[in-house]
Structure 1
Amino acid sequence: MGYLEFCSNCGEKNQFGEKDGNKRYFCSQCSTIHYENPKPTATLICMHQNQLLLVKRAVDPGKGMWGLPGGFIERGETPEMGAQRELLEETNLQGSVSNLLGTCSHFNTVFGDILLMGMEVQVEDWSTLKAGDDAEEAILFPFDELPKLAFPCHEKIVNMYRQKSLS
């Protein structure tokens, strides 16, 4: 049970059972329901001359595999702010969100439920591109020659962009 063993509101031992139509932890003493909400991420599509920016992951999950730049949105950040921070941390680039492409959810054994927000980001100056933070490499790939991506949701977000660009 770990961090949900005791109520974060009153400190009493939590119960586990049916509450609000789902099985979840709750406190029978103060009636606090402990929701295990998905963790939001900014997942970025950055195009340059018909090439897509990908990063080779330096950490698990997916270490050594290619993926879209991005990561968890921090407390106090808007999704756009999180996208800009993650872009800078992983690629040393600055950009601005131009479009929300869509979302994708999946369960990750390391972090639990994750909600990916696919965002198209415009980068003005590509001359500063270099891998940083938790990326081994940051490279532009021809859009029609992409490698297999680390996560199915990354593939789905690429397909969302592909559909948008065809319409």
Structure 2
Amino acid sequence: MMEFPNYCGECGAELESKHIEGRERAYCGHCSQPVYRNAKPCGGVLVIDDEQVLLVKRTNPPAVGSWSLPAGFLEVDEPPELAAARELREETGVSVSPDDLELFETNLIDHGDGTHVLVIIYRTTRSAVSGDVQAGSDAGDAQFWHIEELLEAGESIELGHESIMRQAIAET
């Protein structure tokens, strides 16, 4: 069951639970409106090199210590492909033109704590990126991996991403 906030972010009134649009939602009687809990949008990039994919080791929640695609939250005025290219540069040190990104997949992730993110995933090839791979300030490591070698080494992949990575490699 999803947890609701206790108070309205607009007026501060205590919220109640009310059946709206086919589901239980937090509702502010003072504002006479539901309080929606929407997924936060993120942009990410899978850089494929033959059967390898560029991954970062997460140092920030969620999934600290696991390997994931370079990704992060969109800024309020930022299209997803620009956010994906920015996050790739910040987390791995390599750059790509947004024109070289192909929309590949979306992935809705439930972190189990009431927060949800929608990752808009782009794909590109290693030949389309420039720069040397190096972990950014919010990544413990960044490198190309064969998924099987990663798993054989006892490493983990962020929940919900392994099948998408495998599909991206297979279709490249």
Shorter chain as normaliser: what TM range?
A: 0.7 to 0.9
For structure 2, the residue ranges without an aligned partner over 5 or more in a row are: none
User: Per the alignment, in what secondary structure is the counterpart of residue 76 of structure 1?
Assistant: coil
TM-score (norm. length: structure 1): 0.81
**Counterpart for residue 130 of structure 1:** 134
Selected match of 2:102 from 91, 99, 110: 99
For structure 1, the residue ranges without an aligned partner over 5 or more in a row are: none
Please report how far the alpha carbon of residue 80 of structure 1 lies from its aligned counterpart in structure 2 after TM superposition. Answer: 0.8
Answer whether contact 1:103 1:157 (CA < 8 A) is retained. Answer: no
Answer whether contact 1:9 1:32 (CA < 8 A) is retained. Answer: no
Please report how far the alpha carbon of residue 30 of structure 1 lies from its aligned counterpart in structure 2 after TM superposition. Answer: 2.4
Root-mean-square deviation over aligned CA pairs: 2.6
Aligned counterparts, 1:32-111, within 5 A: 32-97=33-98, 98-110=101-113
Residues 149/120 of structure 1: CA separation in 2 closer, same or farther (3 Å cut): farther
Please report how far the alpha carbon of residue 143 of structure 1 lies from its aligned counterpart in structure 2 after TM superposition. Answer: 6.2
Counterpart amino acid of 2:102? N
Report the number of matched residues: 164
Among the aligned pairs, what percent are the same residue?
30
CA deviation vs aligned residue, 1:136-160 (integer Å, no higher than 9, x gap)? 1111124664435422321132133
| Runs of 4 or more above 6 Å deviation | none
Residues 99/24 of structure 1: CA separation in 2 closer, same or farther (3 Å cut): same
Which structure has the highest strand share of the two? 1
Residues in 2 aligned to 1:50 and 1:150: alpha-carbon distance in whole angstroms: 16
**Counterpart for residue 17 of structure 2:** 16
Selected match of 1:156 from 142, 147, 163: 163
Residues in 2 aligned to 1:134 and 1:110: alpha-carbon distance in whole angstroms: 22
User: After the TM superposition, which of the residue ranges 147-156 and 28-37 deviates more from structure 2?
Assistant: 147-156
